[in-house]
Structure 1
Amino acid sequence: MKKKPLLVGLCSLSITLASGCTTKQEHISVQKYEGKHYKFEAYKKKIEMGKTEKTKEIVRNADWEEFALEKDHSKADFIFYFNDEKNEGGISVYYVWVNTDENIVELTKDEHSQYVQLNRKDSEIILRLLN
């Protein structure tokens, strides 16, 4: 008789722990330009998959153009990459310039050989992830 409440309690605890452990999280590395150097701002461990998946979808579906960065171009405001791509063999590093007047984000990738300017909605999503 005393074993039944104990068994029910253990089952409940197991279910609670199992459901809590299934929340997938994404790891992202972010560097912010401050002064003359980039400062490693965050290795964000607790980002929900939904947020990073949306960001990945934005950069994957962006209308990238061929691009050549001028030598005297200003440094990017942020640099970020998704750490899970390291294991897949092809990591893309994204360089982010923020146009604060219009809240628009401009990105380059692949050693600045590709460029895109995002719309305001997508820019807000990227900025929320980086800040």
Structure 2
Amino acid sequence: MKKKPFILALSLLLMVLVTGCSTKEEHISIQKLENKTYHFEAYKQEIETRDAEKAKGILKNADWREYVLEKDHPKADFIFYFNDDKNEGNIAVYYVWVNPDDHVTELTRDQHKKHVKLNRDDSKTILDLLNE
């Protein structure tokens, strides 16, 4: 008789552990330009994997082109990277410029050697991630 409550409690504990382990969260570091200097805005620990994976998919499938950043180009509005990618040795730092008139973003990566201008939908996804 005493085994039933023990087995029930153990089962509930295992279900909680399995559920808790299955909801992976992404870690992202963000710096935001404020008054001509960058401020560490967030080390976001509660980015859901699906949101991060969607953003990573956009960045991976973007039409990146060779680019040379001009010396007088304004500073990026955001700088960010996915911390979890550091462990895999393939970290990419993204620099984001927001064009509020067109509702689009422009990004560079690889020390400003690659450039892409995202469409409105993809820009919104990236900005939502950065402003959560």
TM-score (norm 2): 0.94
Percent identity between matched residues is 62
Query: Does 2:22 correspond to 1:22?
Result: yes
For these two proteins, the number of residue pairs brought into alignment is 131
Q: CA deviation at 1:4?
A: 1.0
Could you tell me which residue of structure 1 aligns to residue 98 of structure 2? 98
Q: Distance in 2 between matches of 1:14 and 1:88?
A: 30
- List gaps (5 residues or longer) in structure 1: none
**In structure 1, what is the equivalent of residue 42 of structure 2?**
42
**1:70 alignment counterpart:** 70
Amino acid in structure 1 at the alignment position of 2:70: E
Say which is worse superposed, 88-97 or 70-79, in terms of deviation: 88-97
Matched, 1:79 2:109: no
- In structure 2, C-alpha distance between the alignment counterparts of 1:119 and 1:34, rounded to whole Å: 25
Q: CA deviation at 1:91?
A: 1.5
Q: What is the distance in 1 between the residues matched to 2:100 and 2:51?
A: 22
Q: CA deviation at 1:45?
A: 0.9
Task: Answer yes or no: is 1:127 the counterpart of 2:118.
Answer: no
In the TM superposition, residue 15 of structure 1 has moved relative to its aligned partner by 1.0
Could you tell me how far apart the structure 1 residues matched to 2:106 and 2:59 are?
11
Match of residue 113 from structure 1: 113
Root-mean-square deviation (CA), in Å? 1.1
> Partners in 2 of 1:41 and 1:35 — Cα distance?
14
Aligned to 2:61: 61
Gap runs ≥5 in structure 2: none
TM-score norm. by structure 1 comes to 0.94
